[in-house]
């Protein structure tokens, strides 16, 4: 579970590249960009004007642009904590898209193969407060990300994940 009071949204400002983007998300960013402008910082707008709504990283993958090689161009700050400007605009009802799926799923990172997607938790120091909170509240990562996982894979997939988790928990109880 994110613990923004402790991590202050560090995942939006640290790292060596912007947020990974799916090909279909590029068109969405192009479409909603004008509506996002009132929700973004001048530095972010300047980075977008210079670099575009998305860029290719060193691996050739589409990602969000960075401001001066640091934070995501779409990030905004409130009281020292970073938030997604796209998500802020979505919550205000201005755009119909919540944010890039990779951000919505984080700390789960998806690697797509021909036959399936591999979902792995990205264990990163900035997320240690979230991991501690999740353990304290006994909330597995997949439950914290329920809405994100349903967005990505559907309700049926999520319900099956719940069933698998319950079966594993019962099996552990027998051991």
- Tens-digit pLDDT profile for residues 118-153: 998 887 777 777 777 777 888 888 888 899 999 999
Whether residue 157 is contained in a domain is answered as: no
Name the domain count of the chain.
1
Residue 8, phi-psi category: left (phi > 0), alpha (psi -120 to 50), beta (remainder): left
| Domain of residue 70, residue span | 4-146
Whether residue 105 is contained in a domain is answered as: yes
Whether residue 136 is contained in a domain is answered as: yes
Is the Cβ–Cβ distance between 101 and 152 less than 8 Å? yes
Coil vs helix vs strand at 105 = helix
Give the whole-number percent of the chain exceeding pLDDT 70.
91
**Residue 63 tokens, joined:** 């990602």
Backbone angles phi and psi of 63, in degrees to 5: -145, 165
pLDDT of residue 122: 81
> How big, in percent rounded to 5, are the helix, strand and coil portions of the chain?
50, 15, 35
Whether residue 163 is contained in a domain is answered as: no
Whether residue 41 is contained in a domain is answered as: yes
CA 85 – CA 103 distance, rounded (Å): 12
pTM above threshold 0.95: no
Whether residue 69 is contained in a domain is answered as: yes
pLDDT of residue 116: 93
Whether residue 73 is contained in a domain is answered as: yes
Model confidence at 12, pLDDT cuts 50, 70, 90, reads low
The per-residue DSSP string of 44-62 comes to HHHHHHHH-S-EE-TTS-E
CA 169 – CA 175 distance, rounded (Å): 10
pLDDT of 1 higher than 90: no
pLDDT of 157 higher than 90: yes
Question: In this structure, how many other beta carbons lie within 10 angstroms of the beta carbon of residue 157?
Answer: 11
Whether residue 156 is contained in a domain is answered as: no
The rounded Cα 27 to chain-centroid distance in angstroms is 18
- Tens-digit pLDDT profile for residues 17-63: 888 999 999 999 999 999 999 999 999 999 999 999 999 998 899 99
| Dihedral of alpha carbons 13, 17, 21, 26, sign | positive
């Amino acid at each position: 579970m994110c613990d923004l009071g402790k991590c202050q949204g560090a995942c939006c400002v640290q790292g060596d590249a912007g947020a990974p983007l799916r090909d279909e998300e590029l068109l969405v960013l192009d479409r909603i960009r004008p509506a996002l402008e009132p929700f973004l910082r001048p530095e972010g707008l300047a980075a977008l004007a210079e670099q575009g709504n998305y860029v290719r990283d060193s691996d050739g993958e589409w990602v969000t642009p960075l401001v001066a090689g640091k934070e995501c161009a779409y990030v905004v700050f409130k009281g020292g904590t970073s938030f997604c400007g796209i998500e802020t605009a979505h919550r205000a009802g201005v755009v119909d898209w919540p944010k890039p799926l990779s951000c919505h799923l984080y700390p789960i990172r998806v690697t797509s193969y021909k036959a399936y997607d591999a979902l792995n938790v990205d264990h990163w120091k900035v997320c240690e407060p979230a991991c501690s909170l999740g353990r304290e509240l006994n909330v597995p990562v997949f439950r914290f990300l329920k809405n994100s996982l349903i967005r990505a894979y559907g309700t049926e997939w999520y319900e099956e994940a719940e069933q698998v988790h319950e079966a594993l928990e019962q099996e552990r109880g027998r051991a």
